[in-house]
Structure 1
Amino acid sequence: MEYQVAFEGGTSTSYAIASSQERGQMFIAPGTEVYKGQIIGIHQRPGDLALNVCKKKAATNIRSNKEQSVILDTPLDYSLDDCIEYIQEDELVEITPQSIRMSKNPKLAKKGRTSLPFYAMSHIFLSETEE
């Protein structure tokens, strides 16, 4: 099982999630804050897939197009146990009072794995701050 990973931080939109869910199952809902390198879903093809779930629909030619409603699947609700089961050796589980998230980590990245040009850089770990 491979992951869909956010390559841009921001607030996820239903427009972007609708196109992303065609490739696999999502872990996030519209309006969720995401950061660069966060794992946002799963898919079945080899290699991690970098996606932008923060893009907005272009506002061109608004009058000619009716407002189309987007039908989204319910995001996967995963527990701490599920996250620990899913992660691989180059990934982390982030636990906060509001959420449980998974992300890529450059310090634990597999050698030769070049399908993602970026990794989560926004994490501050207790082990790093105690030094």
Structure 2
Amino acid sequence: SGTDEATVLVPPVKMTLEQALEFIDDDELVEVTPTSVRIRKRHLTENDRKRAMRGAKED
């Protein structure tokens, strides 16, 4: 049979809105709710990201 692999997860970094805005790249957004500040990709699926990159190269 197989062996179990232990996956180590890095705990999330708590950031203020200002820190998150300084941290993001051009392909990311800052999502703000009353209880949290999140950084996420502008295009959520890998397929959408590839399509956006192809579109940017054609311009």
CA–CA distance in structure 1, aligned partners of residues 14 and 29 of structure 2: 17
1:65 maps to which residue? none
Normalising by structure 2, report the TM-score.
0.57
Residue deviations 1:54-76, cap 9 Å, x none?
Answer: xxxxxxxxxxxxxxxxxxxxxx2
TM superposition outliers: structure 1 runs of 4+ over 2 Å: none
Report which of the two has the higher share of strand.
1
SS in 1 for 2:31: strand
Task: Give the AA of the match of 1:94.
Answer: E
Counterparts of residues 53-92 of structure 1 (less than 5 Å): 76-92=13-29
Gaps of 5+ in 2: 1-5, 44-48, 55-59
Q: How many residues align?
A: 43
Long gaps (5+) in structure 1: 1-14, 28-75, 113-131
- Percent of residue pairs bearing the same amino acid type: 31
Q: Which amino acid aligns with 2:26?
A: E
Q: Note the aligned Cα RMSD (angstroms).
A: 2.6
Higher helix share: 2
Which residue matches 1:101?
38
TM-score, normalised relative to structure 1: 0.28
Q: 1:105: Cα distance to partner?
A: 1.1
Amino acid at match of 2:53: K
